[in-house]
Amino acid sequence: MIKPIAILLSFCLITAFSTKQKKVIFFGDSITQAGVNDIGYITKMQKIAKDEGFADKVELIGKGIGGNKVYDLYLRMYDDVLSHNPDIVYIYIGVNDVWHKQSHGTGTDANKFERFYQAIIDSMQARQIDLILVTPGVIGEKTDFSNSLDGDLNQYSKIIKSLAEKNNTGLIDLRGMMIDHNKTNNPENMEKGVLTRDRVHLNEKGNDFVANIFWKTLKDKL
């Protein structure tokens, strides 16, 4: 016969496990670094979580550093991600790997980008972390295919999509979604001002856009 105290203890353990707060890390560059600002996408996600009654079920942590490329993420992966034992990680990188080729004469070659990205995936999946890969957004918001780095962004986005399929991770094609949004909402073919403030970094509408997309994928996991 099972004693009442044992039943109570089992119930408490099951309840505690089922209500465990999920730790979510957003791993990226300056776009994610700004995500924790007053109008940042992570801050907006925290408000959505509170408004929808999920505040006690999730902890959102931003780990973005300006100027980072994929190999920077690899080098700081243990300190900024693995040491925190997250349940879910959004990897949101690629803009600087492309952009800095033009703006700084650096950047990351496509084959190296894929290898470093795969190494990050391997390390995190070894810890049973649920991964969501995010394609890089835009470097210029023109919709007539005249942004100078559209071709490279498309190539690197294709790499990320392939990695997501190969490694059975989640995927958010943010680039595709931003392009579709601009096709409808940028009739004047502006290079900035729709979702970005400077062709790359998100303005408030852009942060709202990203927050809502990310929240939809996260909510299904809570």
Enumerate domains of the chain plus CATH numbers.
Answer: 19-219 (3.40.50.1110)
Query: Which residues lie across from 132 on neighbouring strands?
Result: 90, 170
pLDDT of residue 146: 93
Q: For the full predicted model, state whether its pTM sits above 0.85.
A: yes
Q: How far is CA 134 from CA 5, 172, 204, in A?
A: 47, 5, 19
pLDDT tens, position by position, 136-160: 999 999 999 899 999 999 999 999 9
pLDDT of residue 13: 44
The amino acid at 143: T
pLDDT of residue 17: 44
Nearest to 143 by CA among 173, 181, 172, 174: 181
Identify each DSSP E strand in the chain by its residue range.
Answer: 22-28, 58-64, 88-92, 130-134, 170-172
pLDDT in tens, the chain (222 residues): 445 555 444 444 444 444 689 999 999 999 999 999 999 999 999 999 999 999 999 999 999 999 999 999 999 999 999 999 999 999 999 999 999 887 677 899 999 999 999 999 999 999 999 999 999 999 999 999 899 999 999 999 999 999 999 999 999 999 999 999 999 999 999 999 999 999 999 999 999 999 999 999 999 999
DSSP class per residue in 171-211: EE-HHHHHHHHHHHH-TT--SSSSSBSSSSSB-HHHHHHHH
Cα gap 112→96, rounded to integer Å: 14
Q: What H or E segment, with its residue span, contains residue 44?
A: helix 41-51
Q: How many residues does the chain have?
A: 222
The amino acid at 16: A
pLDDT of residue 5: 52
| Residue 107 phi, psi dihedral angles, 5° rounding | 105, -170
